[in-house]
Chains A and B, each alone.
Chain A
Amino acid sequence: MDDRLRETLSAMMDDEADELSVRRLLSHDRQDELRAQWQRWQDVRDLLHDGHSPAHGMDVSVAVREELDGRDSAALGATLAGRDSKARGWHWPAAAMVAMALLVGFGAGAGWDSSGTGPAQPLAAAAPEAPAPAPDQPVREVALQGLDEEQWEYMSRYLLEHAQHNSVGAGRGAVGYARLVSANGPGY
């Protein structure tokens, strides 16, 4: 179990974990290890609070997963829909196609799964104590999965334009290209 997962677990204990982190936690393949850690911390907490441990031996992951899925089944639907967008893009008129081809090429972002946003996860936990340059409140995170297809295309356009600025501005051709292509990649 890495530090990030441990941090998420810890955040969950404090009821401060964000949804993506929890999802990652639930999809971790060493569930037994996680459960053991969770259990230990619950036990410690209960000891500190001089109470018993009602959570002992309970597996809450299924319920949590259901809760998450129930709450944003629409978002998941959008992700699935996004996967078809590449094919659908071809029904557009030819004139619009040239202008929009790159967006379609982006696959409406369908390729990005939650893991793609992984490195940002510590944000929620780290923001409050970070030497925040300005407003102290953590930055609201917009999960990529939560965007519908139209929103995806909209955002993709900006990503694409930035990729072009970046490869020019930073003077590092190949990396700029790679960003573009990485964003372009379908969700295989």
Chain B
Amino acid sequence: MYQALIAVFRCRVLSVLMCLVLALAGSVPVLADDEASAWLKRLGPALNMTSYRGVFVYARGERVHSMQIAHRYIDGAVEERLVLQDGGTGEIVRKGMNVVCVLPETGRVQLNQVIPSGPFAEAFTSQLVPVNRWYQAEMKGEDRVAGYDVVSVALSAKDPYRYSHQLWLEKSTGLLVKSHVRNSEGDVLEQFQYTSLYIGEEIPDSEFEIRTQGREISRTLDETASTESVVQRMNGWQLGWRPEGFVPAAAPRSGKGQAVAFSDGLAAFSVFVEPAGPVTMPTGASLIGATTVYMRQVKEGENVFLVTVVGELPPQTARQVAESVRIEDSLALGAGGS
């Protein structure tokens, strides 16, 4: 009863807000939209091609982590070093296609394809352009983050299938220095922010050296991994529905998984379809900050498959995606085999 009252009240507030937003939207010049788009276009390239170092914090739910980062773009390749600042010690160093990772409690381990490499990311950033179709882009004015002047761009989801984002970009380079992911109620689910930052070319080589002792396992990322078509990776199953705007994304292939990643330019989700393992997973959504994991088992004849949707999606969307998966060819999915 009280809940209903609150709900009614919230609906009222919401509708009043909606009216306001609509009224404002009508009066805002088209220029604002263009300006937001122009900033968004800079986002991707800036992340790779700017040289910077600093410390950022990353929070989801009530958990906060901070990391030190050094990043430079040299001779067409990205060099990057990330060092955990709290909890266990760990670092990730990437030079072009070579990635070495030292994570807490795991010793020094090669992360293989876990870490993105420049070419993929750059190829993908062109997809940031149509973001305006699925998000209402709006300039939110200027601010200051980690000592730098920034502009803020709000990207409000136009439908209930995705979360809303707010990005803060450094004014001269377009570097992303802060971001928020919000649900439809306006709660911040996940945030990322630099607390100290230096942008500039003069970052010495020593900043990119692995400093943690241990056995080194290194491997070169396989560039061809991403060229495998989505059709091949979806061998044996079909996705009946996905929110408009999510397109197959370049993704490094992973293990035996029949995994496909989709992105609308801001958010991404991955769909995994595999023969159910020895572990029985409960059906439903688990939430970690802005990340939803929705799992369900599908029975196809004799075989049971586990469908998993992981992504920065509202739980309802993740469920819809998971429920739309149709198994077409059990054998192709490795049922009964291996």
| A binding-site residues for B, Cβ under 8 Å | 4, 6-7, 10-11, 13-14, 16, 41, 45, 86-87, 89, 98, 101-102, 104-105, 107, 111-113, 115-120, 122-123, 125-127, 129-135, 139-144, 146-147, 150-151, 153-155, 158-186, 188
Contact = CB atoms under 8 A, between A and B. Distances in A.
Interface of B is mostly: mixed
B1 A177 contact: no
Contacts of A16: 3
- Could you say which of B78, B128, B160, B279 has the most chain A C-beta atoms within 10 Å of its C-beta? B279
Contacts of A127: 316
B61 A168 contact: no
A105 B106 contact: yes
Contacts of A41: 2
5 contacts: A140-B284, A141-B284, A142-B285, A158-B310, A170-B263
B103 A171 contact: no
Given A41-B2, A139-B318, 19 more contacts: A13-B2, A13-B3, A14-B4, A101-B103, A107-B105, A117-B286, A117-B288, A133-B317, A141-B287, A158-B272, A161-B257, A164-B113, A168-B226, A168-B251, A168-B252, A169-B249, A171-B43, A175-B176, A185-B65
Interface string B259-296: 10111011111101000010111111111111101110
B268 A169 contact: yes
- Could you say which of B48, B69, B285 has the most chain A C-beta atoms within 10 Å of its C-beta? B285
A36 B250 CA distance: 54
Contacts of A147: 282, 286
Given A171-B121, A185-B63, A179 B109 contact: no
Contacts of A172: 43-44, 47, 176
B192 interface: yes
B116 interface: yes
B114 A166 contact: no
A115 B67 CA distance: 21
Nearest to B4: A14
Interface of A is mostly: helix
Interface string B105-136: 11101110111110011101100100000000
Q: Give the 8 A-B residue pairs with the shortest CB-CB distance, closest first.
A: A169-B249, A165-B261, A116-B61, A178-B58, A140-B284, A162-B310, A120-B287, A142-B284
A14 to B, nearest CB: 5
B65 A181 contact: yes
A172 B49 CA distance: 12
B174 interface: no
Contacts of A171: 43-44, 47, 121-122, 124-125, 128
A150 B113 CA distance: 24
Contacts of B287: 117, 119-120, 141
Contact of B61 (A115, A123, A169): A115
B270 A161 contact: yes
Nearest to A126: B185
A15 B257 CA distance: 42
Interface string B54-72: 0010101111010101010
Contact of B185 (A10, A122, A160, A168): A122
A163 B114 contact: yes
B270 A14 contact: no
B212 interface: no
- Could you say which of B88, B106, B121, B317 has the most chain A C-beta atoms within 10 Å of its C-beta? B106
Interface stretch (B19-27, B28-36, B79-87): B79-87
A155 B286 contact: yes
Given A161-B257, A163-B114, A139 B285 contact: yes
A184 B104 contact: yes
- Could you say which of B43, B284, B318 has the most chain A C-beta atoms within 10 Å of its C-beta? B284
Contact of B106 (A102, A130, A168): A102
B285 A188 contact: no
B67 A181 contact: yes
A173 B80 CA distance: 10
A144 B20 CA distance: 39
Given A140-B285, A147-B282, A168-B252, A13 B1 contact: yes
A182 B60 CA distance: 8
Nearest to B182: A119
A161 B184 contact: no
B45 to A, nearest CB: 9
Contacts of A135: 319
B237 interface: no
